[in-house]
Amino acid sequence: MGGGLLFHRLKFAHVAGLGAIWALAVALRLKGRAQVAALGVCVLTLLSVLVFPYARAASAALGVALALMLLRERRHRRLALGFGGAFALVLVLVLSLHGSFRARLLSAATDRGSGDRHELVAAGLRAVRTHPLVGTGLGHFRVGEWARPEAPVSVREHRGKAHNLFLSAAAETGAVGLALLLVLLVWLVRRTAASAATLGGAGLATVAFLLLLGLVHDPLFHAEVSLAFMLCLGLALAPPGRGVDAQGRELPSSARS
C-alpha cells in the first residue's frame, strides 16, 4: 500500500486480479462455509477489478484466467458452472449499469481510447531496430527517449515502457533477453499445466494472466505487481508441505489435501 498500490489503478487491478485467482484456488480446496467465504472473497475482488480501476485489459485477462482455472477442475464441475454463470451475470450487470466503464471499454477500439499506444509501440520498435541483439540495457529504455519528434507531448514525456511486455523486453535486453523470457514462460506453462492439483491450476491461471496483460501492458514495470507475481508463482511451484493438525502434529499422507 505504501508503494501506491491503493491509489494506482493498474497496480490495484493487477494485484487484485491475482488475489481473485488465488481466492478461487483456496475455495476449490475447501468445503462448506469456508468454501463459501473464499468464493465471496473471490467475487468481491473480481467486482472491485471490474468497477473501480476501469482497467479493460485486466478485467478481460482476469476473466480468461478464472475460466481457464475452472475448466481444469473436473472434481468441481457444478461449482465451476455455477461460478462461471455468476461471473457472466456480474459482467452483464456491470456493463449495463456502469455507463462510464462501458464507454471506456468501447473506446478501446479508437486511437483516443488506446492512449496513443501505436506511438508507444513505434518507439519500442525503433529501439529494437537500433539495438537488436542485446538491447539498450536493463532500465535504459524509456519511450520518451525513442518517440518521434512529432509524437504527442504525452508520448514524448512518457517515462514508462512500450505497453507490451515482450516488446519492452526486446528493447532492453535484445533478441537474447526476449528468447530467454519466452523460454521461461514456456517452462512455467509446462510446469503448472502438468500439475493436477488445484495450486497447479492457480499457477497456470497466474501465467495466463501475466501473458494476457503482457500483450497490452508492462505489468512487471511496477515493483508491487512483480513481487505479487513472484509470490503466486512461488506458491504454485513449491513442493507440497507437510500436513499438520490444529496442534501442529503431522498428518498421515492419506489425510493431506
pLDDT (tens digit per residue) in 10-50? 899 999 999 999 999 998 888 889 989 998 999 899 888 88
**Domain-embedded: residue 229:** yes
Angle formed at CA 126 by CA 114 and CA 151, multiple of 5 degrees: 50
**Domain-embedded: residue 147:** no
Q: How far apart are CA 14 and CA 174, in angstroms?
A: 26
Helix axes 165-193, 117-130, angle to 10 degrees: 90
Q: How far apart are CA 253 and CA 157, in angstroms?
A: 58
Top pLDDT among 11 and 248 is at 11
Question: Number of folded domains in the chain?
Answer: 1
Three-state SS for 114? coil
**Domain-embedded: residue 63:** yes
What kind and span of H or E run contains 245?
none
**Domain-embedded: residue 46:** yes
Find the domain containing 22 and state its range.
9-109+195-237
* 244 pLDDT higher than 70: no
- Tell me what the mean pLDDT of segment 131-150 comes to: 90
pLDDT band at 1 (very low <50, low <70, confident <90, very high): very low
- CA distance to 23, 37, 48, 71, per residue, from 34 (Å): 11, 5, 21, 22
**Domain-embedded: residue 97:** yes
pLDDT band at 241 (very low <50, low <70, confident <90, very high): low
- Tell me what the mean pLDDT of segment 2-13 comes to: 76
* 207 pLDDT higher than 80: yes
What share of the chain has pLDDT > 70, as a percent? Answer: 77
- Tell me what the mean pLDDT of segment 91-117 comes to: 63
Helices (H), the chain: 9-28, 32-51, 56-71, 77-97, 99-106, 117-130, 143-146, 153-156, 165-193, 198-214, 223-237
* 131 pLDDT higher than 80: yes
Mean pLDDT of the chain: 82
* 102 pLDDT higher than 70: no
Which range is least confidently modeled, 50-59, 158-167, 240-249?
240-249
How big is the chain by its Cα radius of gyration, in Å? 20
Give, as one character, the DSSP assignment of residue 13. H
Q: What is the pTM of this model?
A: 0.81
* 135 pLDDT higher than 70: yes
Residue 235: Cβ-neighbour burial (10 angstroms; 0-12, 13-18, 19+): middle
**Domain-embedded: residue 71:** yes
